[in-house]
Homo-oligomer: A and B are copies of this chain.
Amino acid sequence: MRRRDVDAVVASSPENVTYASEYWGLSHWARRGTQVYAVVWNEPARSVDLIVPAALADLVTETVSAAARIHVYGNFVLGSASLPDNDHERQLLELVTDAANPTSGPELLLKVLRARLGSGRVAVEHTGLADGALTTLADGLAEVELVDAGPLLREFRAVKSDQEVELLRRAAQITEQAAESALIAAHPGATETDIAQRFMTALIEQGALPETTVIGTGRRSALPNALPVERELRSGDVLRFDIGCRFGHYVSDIARCVALERVGGSERSLYRALANGLEEAAALLAPGVGTSEVYAAAMAAARRDGIPDYQRTHCGHGIGIANYDLPNITATSTEMLEPGMVICIETPYYRLGEFGLQVEDTFLITDDGAERFTQAPRELLILTDW
């Protein structure tokens, strides 16, 4: 923040509020429009003001670091026979029943900013703001320069803390495990829906939530966003998973393919080209390597080993509390890998009318290379016993 010369960053989207404050608001995540903000100050370093509606204050007092200052707008009816004997409940009761609470989120945000700032520069994320909120801030903070916090927050999020890494590692591994479990449901007469249900159940039993469940079989495996339908699995089908879960608010994104009972020659050799693309990109991963080099390695191997006209806009992306964090792994990306980045590398190939194949794994960039969270098979697996 100092480097960017901003005095405060205001997060407004669910992802960035949770990232900045660890606070997760049910209706903030579930519904667009709910106004929650986390203000992170440069001085004192990383101190946080959290602004929530009264109806969402309960989990703030229960979960958020005691160091954060909590501000509530509106009121909420909570009964209490006597003053609760526990700190967070007592604090909650005071916060939500205070008749002096402002009625709107933007109004309270303005008040919190004005209390500490007469001038300077504040970065405000637009994504989660209500209509007119930005005007309210600009009018009320005439001497403060307001800039867009969106790009800044994406940059901050690119390098993960140890705690974030642990969540991302578990999320990826839970997903890999759930895909394996889901194959138990693959038998003649089963449908894509059956596989999807088994996959999601396996996520939940490991403490995660379903997030991305793209499962296509046969020619539907070539649809990039295949939403599972009641199509019956057939011998010779490719089954493509492009899947992820949410674990402790962090997400995963990996891909797996199997051929059912038997496999055409082209699926097998094309898969190998894609897997080689992933492996050669993976072998490069280390701090200081350009993401465009990683992209180039993946593309070159896939083209060399069986798909001469292989084309992709990207061969991967960072991952974190959002599915597409920085860095982007593209031909023109100028970003360099840094320790603590967590990235997905992927080489999907969609043959419309025929089948789709995809290889995708997740990696942590370490001080001297990379740690692989998941391991896609190097050969297209054939599910013979089904």
Contacts and interface: CB of A to CB of B under 8 A. Distances in A.
Interface in A289-308: none
Interface string A274-318: 000000000000000000000000000000000001011100000
B353 A58 contact: no
A204 B201 contact: yes
Given A78-B222, A79-B349, A30 B323 contact: yes
Contacts of A267: none
A262 interface: no
A135 interface: no
A58 B13 CA distance: 28
Contacts of A92: 352
Interface in A75-100: 76-86, 89, 92-93
Give 9 nearest A-B pairs by CB, closest first.
A84-B353, A58-B223, A80-B352, A26-B225, A77-B311, A79-B351, A200-B204, A78-B352, A78-B350
Given A24-B227, A86-B219, 16 more contacts: A25-B225, A30-B212, A31-B324, A32-B128, A55-B224, A59-B226, A79-B351, A80-B352, A81-B354, A84-B353, A85-B353, A93-B352, A126-B131, A131-B148, A201-B201, A201-B204
13 contacts: A27-B225, A30-B212, A31-B322, A58-B223, A58-B226, A62-B223, A78-B222, A79-B309, A86-B353, A89-B219, A89-B352, A131-B148, A204-B204
